[in-house]
Amino acid sequence: MSLNKDGSYTGFIKVQLKLVRPVSVPSNKKPPTLQDARRGPGRGTSVKRRTSFYLPKDAVKHLHVLSRTRAHEVIEALLRKFLVVDDPRKFALFERAERHGQVYLRKLSDDEQPLRLRLLAGPSEKTLSFVLKENDSGEVNWDAFSMPELHNFLRILQREEEEHLRQILQKYSYCRQKIQEALHACPLG
C-alpha cells in the first residue's frame, strides 16, 4: 500500500470469484480467459446480444484500488475486467474470515471500503479476504433483469401454468370417470 499526499492510500485487494450461475458477455466476443481479463476491458458499451458462460471455479483477481473505493465500485470493476454485462446488483462482495477453525462470511454494504478493511485486518488472508458471489437476498430484484430476460421468465411461467392446469384437469377427469363407473356399477335402489 502507498500513502497519497491527500491522506488517502492505494493498494491491492484480492477477490475470489465464487459464482454458481453463468454470467453474460457480449456475444460478438469469445468468453474471456483470465489472461483476457488481465488485459483490461474491451471497447463498446452497447450490447445487443449476449452469450452466457461459467467463470472458472474459484478464479482470483487482484484489483488496485483507492482507500475511497466502495464495495459496489469493486464489483463493477470486476465485472468490467471479465467483460460481464450483467447488472452489478446481481452480485455482492463478501468479507471472509477464519476464526477458531470456522469460516465466517459477511456481506459488505455498498458503501464499505474494502481496502480500508484490508488494512485494519492486517496481512493475513485467514483474518480477512474478499469473495464475489451472487446477491441472493431471497428476494428477486426484477429491475436487475433486461427486457428479454423478463419476457423469457413470463414464457416459462406461462408454460408451467399450462402444465399445472393440464395435470389438475386430468386428475379431476380421472376422478369423474371413476365416480361415473361406480354409479353405473351400483344397482338402482
Give the three-state DSSP class for 65.
Answer: strand
What is the predicted pLDDT for the residue at 43?
A: 42
Give the list of residues 6+ apart from residue 1 with CB closer than 8 angstroms, or none: 9, 10, 11, 115, 119
Mean pLDDT in residue range 157-185: 94
Per-residue model confidence as pLDDT tens digits over 24-76: 888 765 555 555 555 555 544 455 677 887 888 778 999 999 999 999 999 99
| pLDDT over 70, % of the chain | 87
Name the average pLDDT for the chain.
85
- pLDDT tier for residue 3 given thresholds of 50, 70 and 90: confident
Write the pLDDT tens digit of every residue in 89-147.
889 999 999 988 899 999 999 999 999 999 888 888 888 999 999 987 666 778 878 88
Q: In Å, what is the CA distance from 36 to each residue of 13, 46, 88, 96, 152?
A: 19, 20, 20, 27, 31
pTM (2 d.p.): 0.63
Residue 189 has pLDDT above 70, yes or no: no
pLDDT on residue 127: 87
pLDDT in the model for residue 186: 84
Say if strands 129-134 and 9-17 run parallel, antiparallel, or are unpaired. parallel
